[in-house]
A and B are shown apart, each in its own frame.
Chain A
Amino acid sequence: MCAPVTPTLIWILVVLVAIGLYLSWTAGRLDRLHARIDAARAALDAQLLRRASVAQELATSGVLDPAASIVLYEAAHAARQAEEEQREVAESELSQALRAVFGEAQQVEAVREAPGGDAAAHELTEAVRRVPMARRFHNDAVGAARRLREHRKVRWFRLAGHAPFPMAFEMDDEPPTALVERAA
């Protein structure tokens, strides 16, 4: 009686297993993307922190004039202390402060001539070049994850679990021209 049912049943099972494997593979892909975002975010945080630290160091070193020191110190301090929601704004303001202070080649030269200034200028140059890089890599990962998460199969089967919807990090990261020109 159940003879004709068995092949059908087997087929249904095969299809279900195939769908299951495909979904599991997609979930693995998504998991990897989330891990990539985490790593990219950690790298971005490290670069931002590094930039703020060097800026703060320079601001308190006495190499810069008092007005520039205060502007830079304020911005660097705000960037380091910013809450998560204000982070993008605070970091953008630090970029603006750095551009204002190191807008001219003479200022960079003056820093280099001070004792230990060459190393500090070098560190700052590295930091302002790496922040845009790290941010681009982060947002690239976020974009890839978002594209996958918006797909039907991921939404219907809740493959993303409870992972928060990834957000791009938007900020003004234009480096001061006088710093990067010299290195380029």
Chain B
Amino acid sequence: MRIGIVCPYSWDVPGGVQFHIRDLAEYFIRLGHEVSVLAPADDDTPLPPYVVSAGRAVPVPYNGSVARLNFGFLSAARVRRWLHDGRFDVVHIHEPTSPSLGLLTCWAASGPIVATFHTSNPRSRAMIAAYSILQAALEKISARIAVSEYARRTLVEHLGGDAVVIPNGVDVDFFAEAEPKPEWQGDTIGFIGRIDEPRKGLPVLMKALPRILAERPQTRLLVAGRGDEEEAVESLPAELRSRVEFLGMVSDEDKARFLRSVDLYVAPNTGGESFGIILVEAMSAGAPVLASDLDAFAQVLDQGAAGELFANEDPQALAAAAVRLLGDPERRAELRERGSAHVRRFDWSTVGADILSVYETVTDGMAAVAAADDDERGQGLRARFGLARD
């Protein structure tokens, strides 16, 4: 099958959607499909052979933060050329509502289009204003995928229609087989995420830390992620700061080893999550998980059966749960076991097969993808005036 995948966010910047697309593309290539990924990228970024650059993304303020997006005449032309040259059986667009390549592809393509909705943003004002334009573009999508039941619900409420739920994939064995690192073991709490992004919840964890250390002074907090380290520990009494170790950005291998090593993984995110891939990775590596009770997290953790939940933004609840878990090796072993069994459904072998089923379902009834112009020249006008369809 010839598969075209559209990534809306810059390939240079690591992010959940980009990783998802990379893994998905590599999974399909291993199965022998032909895959091309269209993504924004700087000219000097080294790209894998299957990625086609759609040009440099422009940083613009969008949806409360600065996003790097592709739009405008040149990008639209590149999308058209990519569609034309690719002759894809199916095009898979990620995040079609972001004003970037995804939306441009929706405009430019005709044929079987599959779209994955990753985020579950509350409806923004811009989206309401652009609703009719958006609707006309989104109507071309033959099959919608939401990454969680929660994301599906938001999608149905905001845009109408329906979607199938296929979770994000994780290479479970990569995490399960990583080698633990002794220096990260022994009464350690792990946290991975941007330090300076409050929604990732490090401030909540920092507020809970004094209570945890009061009960269990030997505990260490290991933090992996970018951001200002000084600022992060500011709220902490000076004598406790030595209990926090910053590892900076870690490679994929180190991330897996990190998750294999820690005694407890804490995800104190306060919002803005539609899936929670990090929880799946932690469970794959066999780390007991303690997460805030966001809708998306509760779903990934099987409503608390595969990992524990605490009341969102409540440092007291977090501290109490962490202390209890750190002092109860049996409970942690139980969580490890349940987690490892639970994550199998998120493995690429299952997720990839499901996505392929979606492709096959939509291509069953349709011709291949074309740049809309191609067939417009041939029979577009006739189709436009041949209004009576019997």
Contacts and interface: CB of A to CB of B under 8 A. Distances in A.
10 contacts: A36-B140, A39-B112, A39-B365, A40-B142, A130-B357, A130-B361, A133-B164, A143-B161, A160-B387, A161-B388
A148 B364 CA distance: 25
Contacts of B366: 39
Contact of A29 (B139, B344, B357, B365): B139
A152 interface: no
B365 A31 contact: no
Q: Which of A134, A139, A162 has the most CB of B within 10 A?
A: A134
Interface in B130-145: 135-136, 139-140, 142-144
Interface residues of B, number: 35
A29 B136 CA distance: 7
B388 A47 contact: no
A88 interface: no
A155 interface: no
Contacts of A104: none
B387 A43 contact: no
A143 B160 CA distance: 8
B365 A140 contact: no
Nearest to B344: A184
A184 B350 contact: yes
Q: Which of A31, A32, A36 has the most CB of B within 10 A?
A: A36
Interface string A43-74: 10011000000000000000000000000000
A41 B366 CA distance: 11
Contacts of A134: 361, 364
B345 A184 contact: yes
A43 B361 contact: yes
Contacts of B136: 29
Given A40-B142, A137-B143, A140-B161, A31 B389 contact: yes
B161 A43 contact: no
Contacts of B389: 31, 34, 161-163
Interface in A142-178: 143-144, 147-148, 159-163
A54 to B, nearest CB: 15
Contacts of B163: 136, 140
A86 interface: no
Interface in A110-126: 126
B362 A43 contact: yes
Given A129-B354, A130-B360, 7 more contacts: A31-B389, A36-B140, A42-B365, A47-B361, A137-B362, A141-B142, A148-B139
Contacts of B292: none
A136 B365 contact: no
A38 B389 CA distance: 11
A148 B344 CA distance: 41
B390 interface: yes
Interface in B346-390: 350, 354, 357-358, 360-362, 364-366, 380, 383-390
Nearest to A181: B345
B120 interface: no
A137 B358 CA distance: 9
Contacts of A162: 388-390
B88 to A, nearest CB: 16
Interface string B146-178: 000000000000001111100000000000000
A33 B383 CA distance: 12
Contacts of A2: none
B361 A144 contact: no
